[in-house]
Amino acid sequence: MDSLMIAGRSFRSRLMVGTGKFSSNAAMVAAMEGSGCEIVTVALRRVDVDNPHDSILAHIDREKYLLLPNTSGARDAEEAVRLARLARAAGCEPWVKLEVTPDPFYLLPDPIETLKAAEILVKDGFVVLPYINADPVLAKRLQEAGTATVMPLGAPIGTNKGVRTRDSIAIIIEQAIVPVVVDAGLGAPSHAAEAMEMGADAVLVNTALAVARDPGAMGAAFRKGVEAGREGYLAGLGRQQERAEASSPLTGFLHN
Amino acid sequence: MTFQQILDRYDLLEVEARIAAKQPADVEAALAADHPGLDDFMALLSPAAAAYLEPMAQRAHRLTVQRFGKTILMYAPLYLSNECTNGCRYCGFNARNEVPRRTLTLDEAEAEARVLHERGFRHLLLVTGEAPKAADTDYLAAVVARIRPLFSSLSIEVYPMEEAGYRQVIAAGIDGLTLYQETYDRALYAEMHPFGKKRDFAFRLSAPEHAARAGMRRIGIGALLGLGKFRVEAFCTGLHALHLARHYWRTHLTVSFPRMRPADGGFQPLNPVSDRDFVQLICALRLLLPDAGLVLSTRESAQLRDNLLPLGITQMSAGSCTSPGGYAEKDESGRQFIIDDDRTPAEVEAMLRSRGYDPVWKDWDNAFHGR
């Protein structure tokens, strides 16, 4: 079976879902269910991890979903590390989606602080999934530091622009020794399919589901996009070329 | 480069004339621009744009949903003191107004905070007048130390400080600043602030930069609508926001548009802002600043707030009381102004849900402050 392995744990779904921006918890749950995801990321700033009745946490069935806390809002490594430790101390599994986004406008990740935080958290026993710009060298450095994945952005968070960083993501995938999860910017199921066709191991989607008229249906559409892209990748895509090529090559006569 | 140097480059009369001269074609170009610039912003604020309110509102709505989702951050003001040495002609706390004056003790402040916590609030805005003998930075720090564990985010709306003052309150656990310039028109500012420390236009103007340098996470600015010409004030507010965003790129910006309310002292707005103008201003600001938080307080009526909701608003207060001690004691004498939307937080929450918005009570965490 084609499963996604992260830090020794196996997942059937290659679609991860974020929980921000939904118009209600019901819409969030519908998106999660429609998507068939098994990993759900939650901003620690939005929840009270010590409170089991927290309105978001109470809606996430921990038997069904791996809760992946994220450090959204952290401005530097120190804050991100503190947030991750807080979540672990409150009983979350030691998994963390590392986001160090000091720029509140485009929410772009700070590569220097992300690497610093990753080094500390890995040593501290965390399974670290860092959100990064599509920078192949940074991806290598993080993998050397022991992160469980790398999560390059397709486009800035919330822009729905698709895989704009395609060439760099292709290099990251080519060189990766851990799963590559394309995170941020995917606005349509076709974008998710595109990332998966390129060989990404998984994608993470949030805004596209949260702002859809029907988040549950959009979750299902993304699920199909991810599956189609993955199956296409595994089946071996024909290479693209500029010219049409006869299906009987010029040297066909040699085989006659 | 400071914002004062930027503002000094503009002659506000000329700004007003340039805005007035914008044509429908300029508005259409602004609406078509991916990232409207200052010239586009002028067009969006112009009288010509009044005919484009619907497309402006549509675009403001789309941008806001894209960036923030259908969520509204809930906050409440906590008035700690109404003692004030300033003479702001429009304000109920004006030193010459004969209203009961008080500064809450730490116990009283905690009692107020507990009422707000009980109502669900986790984001508070601490408000004082300007009376250093009554409520200085040591006092603010002591209040914060007392109530910090109950809340996720504490902001201040007090008086402008030097960088050191902001450093002190940030160290105590403050993460946000709200500081309205009131008016960006120096001459009008001088007229409106006849005495008190607040007379210093330049110091107030530079204070958001002091706070940003001190590491303040969130900074809110705005002009008091009803004083200057709203188109010019909105332009200057946008200019101010862009300056802060460019130079202090780690700071999240919010913009408020407080419209003057009846207050003790009976001051009448010099340039009243109609509902239509108000809508235009909110949409224009959203189009200029897609990432800024836009704040709507209970100064506006329930009906108007409900209708403004989808136009770009990201934060709302509810059930606000503008007099120190007013939550726990239900005594509203000594208030700053009379609120209009007097629905309870639970009623506002129900309204938000019925309109397909998720009220967000917590969007920050004490862990950011190392607590």
pLDDT at A243 (0 to 100): 65
The reply to whether residue A21 touches residue B362, judged by beta carbons under 8 angstroms, is: no
Residue A124, Cβ density class (10 Å: 0-12 exposed, 13-18 middle, ≥19 buried): middle
**What's the average model confidence in pLDDT over A228-244?**
80
pLDDT at B371 (0 to 100): 57
Number of domains forming the structure of chain A:
1
Determine the Cα angle at B200 with ends B197 and B206, to 5°.
115
On whether residue A166 sits in a domain, the answer given is yes
Reply yes or no on whether the pLDDT at B4 is more than 70.
yes
pLDDT at A89 (0 to 100): 87
On whether residue A26 sits in a domain, the answer given is yes
Per the CB < 8 A criterion, the answer to whether B204 and B161 are in contact is: no
pLDDT at B366 (0 to 100): 83
pLDDT digit string, tens, across residues A159-218: 889 999 999 999 999 888 899 999 999 999 999 999 999 999 999 999 999 999 999 999
The torsion angle over the Cα atoms of residues A248, A249, A250 and A255, rounded to 10 degrees, is -80
Nearest to B68 among A21, A83, A86 (CB): A21
The reply to whether residue B368 touches residue A104, judged by beta carbons under 8 angstroms, is: no
What residues have CB less than 8 Å from A6, skipping those under 6 apart? A127, A129, A148, A149, A179
Number of domains forming the structure of chain B:
1
Reply yes or no on whether the pLDDT at A51 is more than 90.
no
Sheet of A151-152: strands edge to edge?
A151-152, A127-132, A95-98, A66-70, A39-43, A15-18, A202-205, A181-183
| Structure confidence at residue B263 as a pLDDT band (50, 70, 90) | low
pLDDT digit string, tens, across residues B163-204: 999 999 999 999 999 999 999 999 999 999 999 999 999 999
Determine the Cα–Cα distance for residues A83 and A79; give it in Å rounded to an integer: 6
Q: What percent of chain B has pLDDT above 90?
A: 81
Nearest to B358 among A23, A75, A105 (CB): A23
Q: What percent of chain A has pLDDT above 70?
A: 93
**What's the average model confidence in pLDDT over B63-82?**
94
Q: Which residues of A touch B360 (CB under 8 A)?
A: 46
Q: Which residues of A touch B310 (CB under 8 A)?
A: none
Per the CB < 8 A criterion, the answer to whether B135 and B103 are in contact is: yes
The reply to whether residue A47 touches residue B152, judged by beta carbons under 8 angstroms, is: no
- In angstroms, what CA-CA distances link B185 with A174, B286, B335? 58, 23, 27
Q: Given CB atoms, is A46 within the 8 Å cutoff of chain B?
A: yes
ipTM for this prediction: 0.73
Strand locations in chain B, DSSP E? 71-79, 123-127, 153-157, 176-178, 218-222, 252-256, 293-296, 315-317, 358-360
| Structure confidence at residue A246 as a pLDDT band (50, 70, 90) | low
Q: Given CB atoms, is A207 within the 8 Å cutoff of chain B?
A: yes
The reply to whether residue B368 touches residue A45, judged by beta carbons under 8 angstroms, is: yes
Q: What percent of chain B has pLDDT above 70?
A: 97
Domain span including residue A189: 4-237
| Structure confidence at residue B267 as a pLDDT band (50, 70, 90) | confident
Mark whether A97 is an active-site residue. Answer: yes
Domain span including residue B11: 3-369
**What's the average model confidence in pLDDT over A221-236?**
94
Nearest to A210 among B69, B245, B367 (CB): B69
Nearest chain A alpha carbon to B247: A103
**What's the average model confidence in pLDDT over B213-238?**
96
pLDDT at B265 (0 to 100): 66
Determine the Cα–Cα distance for residues B37 and B288; give it in Å rounded to an integer: 7
Is residue B362 helix, strand or coil? coil
Place of tokens 């408000």: B127
| Structure confidence at residue A247 as a pLDDT band (50, 70, 90) | low
| Structure confidence at residue B206 as a pLDDT band (50, 70, 90) | very high
| Structure confidence at residue B93 as a pLDDT band (50, 70, 90) | confident
pLDDT digit string, tens, across residues A129-156: 999 999 999 999 999 999 999 999 999 8
On whether residue A242 sits in a domain, the answer given is no
Average pLDDT, chain B: 93
Q: Domain containing A42 — which CATH number? A: 3.20.20.70
**What's the average model confidence in pLDDT over B210-232?**
96
Q: What is the torsional sign of CA B118, B123, B125, B126?
A: positive
Q: What predicted TM-score, i.e. pTM, was given to this entire model? A: 0.86
The reply to whether residue B370 touches residue A82, judged by beta carbons under 8 angstroms, is: yes
pLDDT digit string, tens, across residues B12-66: 999 999 999 999 999 999 999 988 999 999 999 999 999 999 999 999 999 999 9
Q: Domain containing B215 — which CATH number? A: 3.20.20.70
Strand locations in A4-50, DSSP E? 4-6, 9-11, 15-18, 39-43
How many Å is the Cα radius of gyration of chain B? 19
Q: Which of A97, A123, A161, A224 is an active site residue? A: A97
pLDDT digit string, tens, across residues A54-85: 878 888 888 899 999 999 999 999 999 999 99
- Counting Cα atoms < 13 Å in the Cβ hemisphere of B354 gives 8
Reply yes or no on whether the pLDDT at A256 is more than 60.
no
Determine the Cα–Cα distance for residues B250 and B187; give it in Å rounded to an integer: 33
- Nearest to residue A8, comparing CAs of A157, A149, A174? A149
Nearest chain A alpha carbon to B368: A79
Q: Give the helix/strand (H/E) hosting B12.
A: helix B12-20
